[in-house]
Structure 1
Amino acid sequence: MNVISSIKPSALAVDSVSHAYGSRRVLHGVSLTVPQGQFTAVLGLNGAGKTTLLSLITRLFDTQSGTISVFGHRIDRAPGEALRRLGVVFQARTLDLDLSVMDNLLFHAALHGIGGGEARRRAETVLTDVDLLERRRDKARNLSGGQMRRVEIARALLHEPRLLVLDEPTVGLDIASKLTIVRHVRRLVRERGVGVLWTTHLLDEVEPDDNVLILHQGSALAHGVTAEVVAASGAETLRAAFAGMTESA
């Protein structure tokens, strides 16, 4: 059920992507558009295929079928051009726990060819944005789970991408940390025009004017503005629409 065709420029275009691990197919012709400057949520239960989809988008896996483009650059044909426009926050923690917060960011900056004073300036800016500049000399292992996640978001923004991809970023966080993360990412969309792809199994993280893809057992059941997806399903709430779609699929 596709209920929207966005008029905003496309930050990410996934077209008819399928993927299998051996004989087990986990994605079935999934298509998705992430408009620039909009929050897009991929909503699905555990095992729906969300992480596999993000692994293809970030090129951890090669695309087997279909195409994926970031700002018009296909990741299979121009991976460098595509990936430099992309910032990623993986579900698993990826900070080096024995390095300081600043050194984690400077190492990432160096990987993107950003060095010296420019790298430190950018690191201080993004740490200020996530309210962690005063922790820059602390080892990463001394941060809370929510603080680690905020550092990972800051790190993903160091090379100034226009598309931010986050895989279940609030898993394992307390309510206060979760709200801080969600609000910060939504502010990036609102104030900086960053396109965001956010995977989750938590319905309360999706708002009525978000762009949403409902993914279930590797298939896209609906894609569009949340309120319109709900209306098209005949349900009154996203929870009811999601339950109706996934239970009947």
Structure 2
Amino acid sequence: MTDASSTAAALSVESVTHAFGPKKALDDVSLIAPAGSFTALVGQNGAGKTTLFSLITRLYDNRSGSIQVLGHDVRKQPAKALSQLGVVFQARTLDLELSVIQNLLYHAALHGIGRREAKTRAEAALGRVGLEARAKDKVRALSGGQMRRVEIARALLHGPSFLLLDEPTTGLDIGSRRTLLEEVRRLIKEDGIGVLWATHLTDEIAAADRVVVLHKGRVMANGAPQELCARAKTDDVGAAFMAIVGEDAAEPRKVPA
């Protein structure tokens, strides 16, 4: 496995377990997402991806293990940790009746950013995702892919170093999915932003990515795509994923983060 410890960690999750009543949603989960890189968190529906995101963002309290963002523990230093995060949740949260720029200005106000500075940041963020020309349009007039790009622009307003994107391509067509992936990878390359991209679609994984396979709340594999393929004795990442999650998971598999 790739030794992620040699690379600066934007996100570090160690031995995190979370349950809803008697049902464990996450079971001793550990992973590292290096800074300035694309980490794909891959799992089927119900694998625990959204639960993990909710713990990272403090929607849920992690009562076991530790979660650190750029070295800041989310329980002990929540303000510092969350200030480094930009988040795009699976459910869309834009106000359809407001313009694109109004949505961004409202979000900036919630972060305590003054209106003049907010306008400058909003225009810059829209430029980074290629939507500066749509600033005055109502969100309702945008395509699904464009709405996602607005949400990414919104997530960038406070200058985070790490982005969490939970199933961001849900409901998008093939072209919009490709465009969104290209925009996110460009942000990584040009701005050094780290990304944790949750998905159930293995065709969104590139050869240079890091991959964490989450299945029924457990990390089943963690490494480069070629390492997963070698383990499953296949050249196809999708086939490797299915082989790995199909393995006997009766006992937790300890995988180096």
Q: Could you say whether these structures have the same fold, taking a TM-score greater than 0.5 normalized by the shorter chain as the test?
A: yes
**Structure 2 length as normaliser, TM-score?**
0.93
Equivalent residue of 1:166, what SS?
A: strand
Q: Deviations over 1:133-163 (max 9, x none)?
A: 1211122122111111110000000111000
Offset at 1:236?
A: 2.6
Q: In structure 2, how many angstroms separate the alpha carbons of the residues matched to 1:73 and 1:141?
A: 37
Is the counterpart of residue 183 in structure 1 residue 182 in structure 2?
yes
Conservation of the 8 A alpha-carbon contact between 1:209 and 1:227: no
Is the counterpart of residue 168 in structure 1 residue 193 in structure 2?
no
Alpha-carbon RMSD: 1.1
Q: Deviations over 1:100-146 (max 9, x none)?
A: 11111011111112112211011001111222112111221221111
Match of 1:142 in 2: 141
Q: In structure 2, how many angstroms separate the alpha carbons of the residues matched to 1:86 and 1:152?
A: 13
One-letter amino acid of the structure 2 residue matched with residue 29 of structure 1: D
Conservation of the 8 A alpha-carbon contact between 2:228 and 2:241: no
Match of 2:60 in 1: 61
Match of 2:106 in 1: 107
1:205-220 equivalences under 5 Å are 205-220=204-219
Match of 1:14 in 2: 13
Equivalent residue of 2:60, what SS?
A: coil
Runs of 4+ in 1 over 4 A off after TM superposition: none
Offset at 1:87?
A: 0.2
Conservation of the 8 A alpha-carbon contact between 1:14 and 1:69: yes
Q: In structure 2, how many angstroms separate the alpha carbons of the residues matched to 1:208 and 1:16?
A: 27
Match of 1:92 in 2: 91
Offset at 1:5?
A: 1.4
Q: In structure 1, how many angstroms separate the alpha carbons of the residues matched to 2:39 and 2:24?
A: 24
Offset at 1:22?
A: 0.9
Q: In structure 1, how many angstroms separate the alpha carbons of the residues matched to 2:222 and 2:246?
A: 17
Where structure 1 has 5 or more consecutive residues not aligned to the other structure, the ranges are none
1:5 to 3, 6, 10: 3
Conservation of the 8 A alpha-carbon contact between 1:10 and 1:36: yes
Q: In structure 1, how many angstroms separate the alpha carbons of the residues matched to 2:225 and 2:16?
A: 22
Q: Provide the identity percentage.
A: 55
Where structure 2 has 5 or more consecutive residues not aligned to the other structure, the ranges are 249-257
1:65-80 equivalences under 5 Å are 65-80=64-79
**Which stretch has the larger CA shift, 167-176 or 228-237?**
228-237
Offset at 1:237?
A: 2.1
Equivalent residue of 1:248, what SS?
A: coil
Q: In structure 1, how many angstroms separate the alpha carbons of the residues matched to 2:238 and 2:143?
A: 31
Offset at 1:225?
A: 1.5
Match of 1:48 in 2: 47
Conservation of the 8 A alpha-carbon contact between 1:35 and 1:195: yes
Q: In structure 2, how many angstroms separate the alpha carbons of the residues matched to 1:240 and 1:96?
A: 39
Conservation of the 8 A alpha-carbon contact between 1:19 and 1:26: yes
Q: In structure 1, how many angstroms separate the alpha carbons of the residues matched to 2:205 and 2:92?
A: 23
